[in-house]
Structure 1
Amino acid sequence: CALSLAEPPGSEPRSCSGVILTRRPALVLCHAAVFSPFLRDGPAAWGRSGLLQPEALKPGLRLLVLHRQDGGLRQEEARLLGLVPCRPFQQALERAFGPGERWRFGGEAAGDEGQALHWFAWLRVPGLDAPGGRWTARASASHLQKGEGLVACGSPFGALCPDLFLNTLSRGVVSNLAGEENALVLTDARCLPGTEGGGAFLPSPTGPRLVAVIAASFCWKGAEWVGLTLLCSLAAILRSSASLLEEVGAVVPPVPGGLAAVEAGSGQDPLGWVALVECGVTWGSGVLLAPHLLLTCRHVVEAGDRVRVTPAPGPGRAATVLEGRVVFATEESSPFDVAVVELEESVPGFVPACLADTFLPGEEVTVVGFGPLGRACGPSVTAGVLSAVV
């Protein structure tokens, strides 16, 4: 669904996406940043540690929930129950996105809404009540794995053009995970501004299950756009909202057992062949070809011959820093940005990859590497297709 704020005179219109979690009583969950301009205490309110009551907002605000019913669009009056901070998500954000790295999220400019990143809003919508209503099927983010398939559902540009954009779908994979029970999830499912508050669903044989809520549609590191969407685990939000839900008489049913992962590809886990490569102050990624041999890019190791290599940790293998030296690098003028590093010690528990010998445009591929997050959360995963073969 989508939430629009019929604001007091003089304020700009605001809207975002939302998720109908239950219809008995009907509750909608959305991201709280949409309420930023209407806080009595301004952005300073986001610095509080507990629930913000409806009285924290300026008077005269009208909330409308837009949803599809019987092939058409309907609007329902909504009432704010409260704004809730999700502490596990906040802690994961602080760990994954260091303050010195100039991260920005969504459409925020000066960063005021960045303070609201871990805040979520609960709405009561009487017009959506249904006597036999159940909770939306859910899954626990604690069972998610990198590379697992996800479907994001949100309304680009909020309530601006619902006939066209309401409940738009986007497919991707779990790119990275962080925090307590995976409170923070990154996905490469493409989302646009206005989808904040929408849901990320885990495909399953019995139907999609809601696993997370969209917190930011874009990530920026400095001036560099990072094509990943930031999600917050639904389970973490529900735990943080326990007292509020108890007050309104909402009983959260237990989540069924873990679901089998739906991965973008098949075969062996590619995370076992990727490594963090550091040379001087520069770092990048590399691919392990043999116990003593690593392939990387020339520009990653051009600062010197000595290299530090950290293979991605995995089951039965802790993170180990290995020393290496560059034994081959293409010339700077070469169109191929390639270098080979020989390691002084063998990679523990190394299993060689099966190298491809045919390449077909359109076939599915998975890309694994230490992206802008660096070593904070291990390698990230994105999925797509082979666009061209030269």
Structure 2
Amino acid sequence: MGRQWGPSMRVAEQAGCVVSASRAGQPDAGSWSCSGVILSRSPGLVLCHGGIFTPFLRTGSAALTRTGTAFLPGDSCSDDLRLHVQWGPTASSPSARADEELPGLCTPQCASLGLDPGAPSRARARPLQPPRPAKLLLLLSCPAFRSHFARLFGAEAADQWHFVSSAPDDAVSEEEEEDQLRALGWFALLRVQRGAAAEERRGPTVTVAPLGAVAKGAPLLACGSPFGAFCPDIFLNTLSRGVLSNASGPLLLTDARCLPGTEGGGVFAARPAGALVALVAAPLCWKAREWVGLTLLCAAAPLLQVARWALAHLHPGSASLSVLLPPPEVGAPRGLAPRDLGPPWAAAAVLVECGTVWGSGVAVAPRLVVTCRHVAPREAAKVLVHSSTPNAKATEG
């Protein structure tokens, strides 16, 4: 991936993990999984997506949309919730220094793909850490993210957008789709059961980029586990490169390829090297039944602000954990300073809408836009052009 990505790749892989949720004593009830980021190893603190917790909420997913709710304590979920976290070999772990002839860990699902659990690790990835039990400390969201999401994708346009991991034609119940949508901006903070002393190290695992510190167009590295806990030997901590495609407050877009199961995975910057920029909020989205190849992200810095505030206001046993999270951002945001964009037509890229048809266009002069023929057919009754300039309104043509 290039020399510039070396440090970021190491940080991303060391911080990446997969989180699984299931019901105690009910193996047939199924399991849920997503990606996560290890914030600290002593104690083990993990941030992951909140969507896998909706089946366990005592009052249902409606609790996530309650006005003014930015976090929920861990006991908001039922007592039968069981959590496990798994990650790859760490530099200090015995498995990372194991002899190459030792067999790696492989799940039954991997065997179904034809991967031999007994094969020598020299022909396969190094052994993974076994799944560790974890406890849910709190569910949290970024109010600004939810506000921007509602403004951009709600109201009249809501029925045009589809923010779940399945395609519009897939068989997903209305209840499941509503649960996923409600949980889209929610994440979870977990505490992992302490392991062997050789695998522990003090302090945060990652540094966090301040909100706005990464400029539009800057390269990003996404690290998540497609399909969650399915076959971690091959899918755990899969890397994908892209750029920061756009931003609206803490709501970010990237063209890095992310798949279902990467929700909650970390997105890191090349500069500063390995800084955590955001977490994956929605790996796929559809508009007007067309796939949009962009991934929706939630900035990490405001999420951790909420986490620190929530931990400090919960029971005393959790308050001490707030100081062990990555420190709050310092310094002024860089790269997103306001610019004088001139008249509305001076922003070259515009959005062209003609009924249910939409596409991009280029403004070449005041009230003159060039776009593809199929975007604005000649028989169209009304064409709307949206500019990205501040306070701009749609222009009818």
Q: What is the 5 A alignment of 1:283-362?
A: 284-289=359-364, 294-301=369-376, 302-303=378-379, 311-313=387-389, 319=392
Counterpart position of 1:62: 82
CA distance in 1, matches of 2:257, 2:358: 27
CA deviation digits over 1:253-299, x for unaligned, max 9? 243546876xxxxxxxxx94223446688654322345685422223
| 1:43 partnered with 2:72 | no
Contact 1:25-1:250 within 8 A present in 2 as well = no
Of residues 280, 285, 289, the one that matches 1:219 is 285
Identity across the alignment (%): 46
Contact 2:268-2:277 within 8 A present in 1 as well = yes
Of residues 257, 260, 269, the one that matches 1:190 is 257
Counterpart position of 2:118: none
Counterpart position of 1:151: 221
Residue type matched to 1:253 in 2? P
Counterpart position of 2:38: 20
Residue type matched to 1:175 in 2? S
Deviation at 1:107, TM superposition (A): 2.1
Q: Structure 1's 282 and 30: CA in aligned 2 closer, same or farther, altered over 3 A?
A: closer
* Number of residue-to-residue matches in the alignment: 309
Of residues 192, 195, 200, the one that matches 2:267 is 200
| SS state at 2:322 partner | coil
Counterpart position of 1:104: 162
CA distance in 2, matches of 1:224, 1:292: 28
Contact 2:267-2:277 within 8 A present in 1 as well = yes
Counterpart position of 1:136: 206
CA deviation digits over 1:303-338, x for unaligned, max 9? 469976555428xxx7487787xxxxxxxxxxxxxx
Q: Structure 1's 186 and 308: CA in aligned 2 closer, same or farther, altered over 3 A?
A: closer
| 1:91 partnered with 2:147 | yes
Q: Structure 1's 39 and 290: CA in aligned 2 closer, same or farther, altered over 3 A?
A: closer
Counterpart position of 1:348: none
CA deviation digits over 1:15-48, x for unaligned, max 9? 1100001223321000111011122222222233
| SS state at 2:51 partner | helix
CA deviation digits over 1:311-368, x for unaligned, max 9? 5428xxx7487787xxxxxxxxxxxxxxxxxxxxxxxxxxxxxxxxxxxxxxxxxxxx
CA distance in 2, matches of 1:130, 1:281: 54
Counterpart position of 2:297: 231
Deviation at 1:244, TM superposition (A): 3.0
Counterpart position of 2:137: 81
CA deviation digits over 1:103-141, x for unaligned, max 9? 221326322211111211110114368343334121123
Of residues 108, 114, 127, the one that matches 1:72 is 127
Q: What is the 5 A alignment of 1:223-302?
A: 223-246=289-312, 247-251=319-323, 252-255=326-329, 257=331, 272-277=347-352, 284-289=359-364, 294-301=369-376, 302=378
Q: Structure 1's 44 and 170: CA in aligned 2 closer, same or farther, altered over 3 A?
A: same
CA distance in 1, matches of 2:284, 2:384: 32
| 1:4 partnered with 2:31 | no
CA distance in 1, matches of 2:307, 2:147: 16
| TM-score, normalised via structure 1 length | 0.70
Q: What's the RMSD between the two structures over aligned residues?
A: 2.9
Residue type matched to 2:56 in 1? F
Deviation at 1:220, TM superposition (A): 1.7
Residue type matched to 1:127 in 2? R
CA deviation digits over 1:127-166, x for unaligned, max 9? 3683433341211232333322111100011111100011
| SS state at 2:256 partner | coil
* Greater length-normalized contact order (CA 8 Å, ≥ 6 residues apart): 2
CA distance in 2, matches of 1:195, 1:34: 12
- More strand per residue: 1 or 2? 1
Q: Structure 1's 59 and 283: CA in aligned 2 closer, same or farther, altered over 3 A?
A: closer
| 1:125 partnered with 2:145 | no
Contact 2:361-2:371 within 8 A present in 1 as well = yes
CA distance in 2, matches of 1:210, 1:54: 25
Contact 1:213-1:234 within 8 A present in 2 as well = yes
Contact 2:215-2:334 within 8 A present in 1 as well = no
Q: Structure 1's 285 and 12: CA in aligned 2 closer, same or farther, altered over 3 A?
A: same
When structure 1 is superposed on structure 2, of 160-169 and 278-287 the one drifting more is 278-287
Residue type matched to 1:214 in 2? V
Residue type matched to 1:7 in 2? R
CA distance in 1, matches of 2:145, 2:373: 37
Q: Structure 1's 14 and 297: CA in aligned 2 closer, same or farther, altered over 3 A?
A: same
Contact 1:155-1:166 within 8 A present in 2 as well = yes
Residue type matched to 2:373 in 1? R
CA distance in 2, matches of 1:34, 1:160: 15
Q: Structure 1's 23 and 37: CA in aligned 2 closer, same or farther, altered over 3 A?
A: same
CA distance in 2, matches of 1:189, 1:52: 31
